[in-house]
Structure 1
């Protein structure tokens, strides 16, 4: 399949002009390869890797026109240094700021015609939407475009694996390792601080408001985050994502309520004024807190920041000491 040349990474380095001290004019400088390109070229292509659904994916050359089908993949690609190579993202991609300027390919339904027009040489799909996206992407697969399905990470370890997998398929394994090591160091530092927690707090994670209040139990990334900060999930006896009514939340009486959504104006006040919620410790102690929706729900490079934000929300007396 034809290889479409994308722009080199931002700020291509230029060699300084060499000027002889005698009456010779300065010689022209030749552009030096970007660090990302040079490191990528150290990886042996063609490259064959296995994705999250067991498909073998072969790339003949390092990708230079990449489409990302979920925001977390996009954040990983940018962290790896592929800002220029990313040509298409979903409607919800908003980080980093440069991601918002990329061509939009849709969200729950993807615009296959636009994706084709972008002439990608790598598509990063996602396991969570693969069952519905696979059929639509068949024309691109038939045309020879490599499609790599990234796993649906539900923990820090799986997030690390995701970053390393994307690093491998793009030829940026060394950069991926550095990102993972930096995240692990941040997580370890937070864990060290929380060793001083004497009384474990109970927490209710609310991912959507009335009338359909959803929360997260075992087997979710939210559960992993709470476990990591030594907090007890009040719905840890439940599995996956579930809807819960207000009466049940009152009966479970969490010490802290964390809101991971921002689509409701004055969401914190709305929670506090629900009937019966004045009986909840979290409301009485003014511990209903809205946290950053994006970093707490995207298994990517900012997940360590999400852990820190949750730790500060639940244990401010420890984290702000």
Structure 2
């Protein structure tokens, strides 16, 4: 189930990015002119507030949410990072970070249990643009019950991730904490860039699914932005989005490093090395097949900067000694 969730998340992220590029500027969160989300000098949110979500719906929050349900892992990680552990009453079945999330009531996976959510009596439900269409009927039932349902945008860049964290901080009266998280992330990004600034650029290939259905990221993806920030040359940047690739093509591209993210496959690093023809790849010859936790880059939240660092370490380990 986790494999399916991760693969869907990656593909939906790619889809949203490509759609966003064709539509021009990304839709920014905004407030209703007649009922604004004003901030005082100490950054305390003012209620009631009306905020526009990723689908363009104006959602009213009459007061600071005290009982929160999160429908996807990326939302959950942001909400916990904002210090809302006690307010969170329900999370997705796939939530495994932070550890405290595993102790919360589970409300279902890709399709949530409406009755379970209603039984938790939330005053705020945070859904996600990536699967909003597939759970549309369930979300409508929650809305019909009078529960504010806010659909969080599918962030396709670091900047959009910062905006999402900022927005959730405003809604939950945690804007100062949100600013601290964003500042910390930006500092880590700068630190990573400083460490790799003087290295000789290497090539890399990343995969998120094992053969026979190997998926990788080309240009116009979040992974490409990470590669660019980390001064890594993507061997498939002549292709767009996430796509399926065969082993013969990987051999032909001959990356210096292979980054694998299949945490559901036992001994995946050794398995990759033993694929037919891979013994001729530079990455295999130099023992540069590295496993990185996919959640660090697939979940667009506070750990995204950590994901950038892990990718950079995988390609330029000497820069981080």
Match of 2:280 in 1: 279
Give the aligned partner of residue 159 of structure 2: 157
Shift in Å, 1:282: 0.5
Q: Output aligned runs, 1:173-192, within 5 Å.
A: 173-192=175-194
How far did residue 40 of structure 1 move? 10
| Structure index of larger Rg | 1
**What is the TM-score normalised by the length of structure 1?**
0.85
Looking at structure 2, the residues matched to 169 and 40 of structure 1 have their Cα atoms a distance apart, in angstroms, of: 15
Residue 147 of structure 2 aligns to a residue in which SS? coil
Give the unaligned 5+ runs of structure 2. 1-40
Task: Identify which of 131, 137, 151 aligns with 1:135.
Answer: 137
Asked whether the equivalents of residues 45 and 170 of structure 2 are also in contact (C-alpha less than 8 Å), the reply is no
Aligned to 1:223: 224
Q: Return the match for 1:107 from 106, 109, 130.
A: 109
RCO higher in structure (CA 8 A, sep ≥6): 2
Measured after TM superposition, the shift of residue 169 of structure 1 is: 1.5
Aligned alpha-carbon RMSD (Å) = 1.4
- Residue 293 (structure 1) shift: 2.1
Equivalent residue number for residue 119 of structure 1: 121
**Whole-Å Cα distance in 1 between the matches of residues 93 and 235 of structure 2?**
33
Distance 1:196 1:72 in 2: 33
Rounded Cα–Cα distance in structure 2 between residues aligned with 1:95 and 1:120:
21
Contact 1:282 1:288 survives alignment (8 Å): yes
Q: Is the partner of 2:156 in helix, strand or coil?
A: coil
Look up the match of 2:20: none
> Runs (4+) of structure 1 moved beyond 6 Å?
none
Alignment of 1:248-287 (within 5 A): 248-287=249-288
Aligned length: 281
1:74 corresponds in structure 2 to 76
1:70–1:126 CA contact under 8 A, matched in 2: yes
Q: Paired residue for 2:247?
A: 246
1:306 aligns with 2:310: no
Q: How far is the alpha carbon of 1:219 from its aligned partner?
A: 2.2
Q: Which residue of 2 aligns with 1:316?
A: 317
Q: Deviations over 1:226-281 (max 9, x none)?
A: 11100011111111111100001111111100011211111001000000001111
How many angstroms apart in 2 are the aligned matches of 1:53 and 1:168? 18
What residue is the counterpart of 2:210 in the other structure?
209
The residue number in structure 1 matching 2:53 is 51
- Report the Cα distance in structure 2 between the residues aligned to 1:218 and 1:40, rounded to whole angstroms: 41
